[in-house]
Amino acid sequence: MEFFDILVSILGSAVRLSIPLLFTALAGLFSERAGIFDIGLEGKMLASAFASACVAYVTGNAWLGLLAGIAVSIAFSLVHGFASITNRGNQIVSGVALNFVAAGLTIVLGQAWFGQGGRTPQVPGEGRFAPIILPGADAMRDVPFIGPLYANVISGNNILTYIAFLMVPLSWWVLYRTRFGLRLRAVGENPGAVDTAGISVPWMRYRSVILAGFLCGFAGTYLAVAQSAAFINNMSAGKGYIALAALIFAKWRPVPVMFACLLFGFLDALANFMQGKVVPGIGEVPVQIFQALPYVLTCILLAGFIGIARPPKAGGVPYTKER
């Protein structure tokens, strides 16, 4: 197999693997930029994957599945918001609790409804997001270099993939070019100032966690009814945490978030490809090296070797209005 074909195959795989990370990291971006740390991304992804798989299986409609995924994810977000905004609880504790709730609840409900050990039945073909062949993909295939890239990497993904990439400029625009975005960022840096300006800090923060829930709903749906065709116990498999790492790696900015997610997806795809392959001069490289790289890179970044990752100043601090 030609080197270039291998590269195209790995890139295609990298895109597919990075989509759930991208949605989740953007979700974290909105939440954390408003000063609400969100360890519960993993749980929200899992819960929405379960909801979307259930609804897509029952109705046979992928879009209804997506709606259900988003609804459940937002519900989880609101619980997180209620605990950490209204009641000023510890955001980390609330997030971790939601992760456990999601992991347990999905299995219990799945077992009760479908009796398959927490798994949902296979979603039928029309209940899934099918790959979209972009116009001209087949005609372009024979054009050197650009053709295979277009046909195998850019074309042939499902609609959620394109939505994910559209979300990146959209998030940037919302955060940096709208009044809402300015206030959202301000609430994460200096909520006191926002309050002085007569804007409700809790309402701003609630809106940000709802946005986070909205985006996480896409991530879960992608896992359950686009990438695979059923919900499986704990299928998020730590992706929420990798997304958090990507968010920190990108220093809480939307466009770098995309590149960080693509990089982590690429490392994952490379790990899959390198398995059992012998590298000349080195021998067989253990795949664990590639799988650990996202975390290692994030640690190196946090240690201050690649610039400084500065989290939003008011992150994790419940806002108390002075009386």
Binding site for other proteins (CB under 8 A): 1, 5-6, 9, 12-13, 16-17, 115-119, 122, 223, 227-230, 232-235, 237, 269, 272-273, 275-276, 288
Separation CA 275–CA 288 (nearest Å): 9
Q: Which is nearer to other proteins, 68 or 270 (CB)?
A: 270
- Tell the smallest beta-carbon distance from residue 171 to other proteins (Å): 25
Paired tokens of 296: 């290692």
Helix (H, G, I), strand (E, B) or coil at 259: helix
Between 12 and 43, whose beta carbon lies closer to other proteins?
12
In the complex, the smallest distance separating the C-beta of residue 107 from other proteins, rounded to whole angstroms, is: 8
Residue 163 beta carbon to other proteins: minimum distance, rounded to whole angstroms: 19
Specify the DSSP class assigned to residue 158.
E
At its nearest, how many Å lie between other proteins and the CB of residue 212? 22
Q: Which is nearer to other proteins, 1 or 197 (CB)?
A: 1
Cα–Cα distance measured from residue 313 to residue 148, given in angstroms and rounded to the nearest whole number = 45
* Contact between residue 99 and residue 42 where contact means Cβ atoms under 8 Å apart: yes
DSSP bridge partners of 283: 279
Phi-psi region of 294 (alpha: psi -120 to 50; beta: other; left: phi over 0): alpha
Name which of 66 and 301 has its Cβ closer to other proteins: 66
Nearer to other proteins, 172 or 295 (CB): 295
Q: What are phi and psi of 87, to 5 degrees?
A: -95, 0
- Taking the complex as a whole, the smallest distance from the CB of residue 321 to other proteins amounts, in Å, to 44
Torsion of CA 266, 271, 277, 278, to 10 degrees: 90
Q: For residues 149 and 174, which CB has a smaller minimum distance to other proteins in the complex?
A: 149
| In the complex, least distance from residue 266 CB atom to other proteins, rounded to whole angstroms | 13
Smallest distance from other proteins to CB 238, Å: 9
Residue 35 near residue 319, CB atoms below 8 Å: yes
Q: Which is nearer to other proteins, 134 or 274 (CB)?
A: 274
Neighbours of 119 (CB within 10 A): 18
Which stretch of DSSP H or E encloses residue 283? strand 283-284
Which DSSP category does 126 fall into? G
Question: How many residues appear in the chain?
Answer: 323
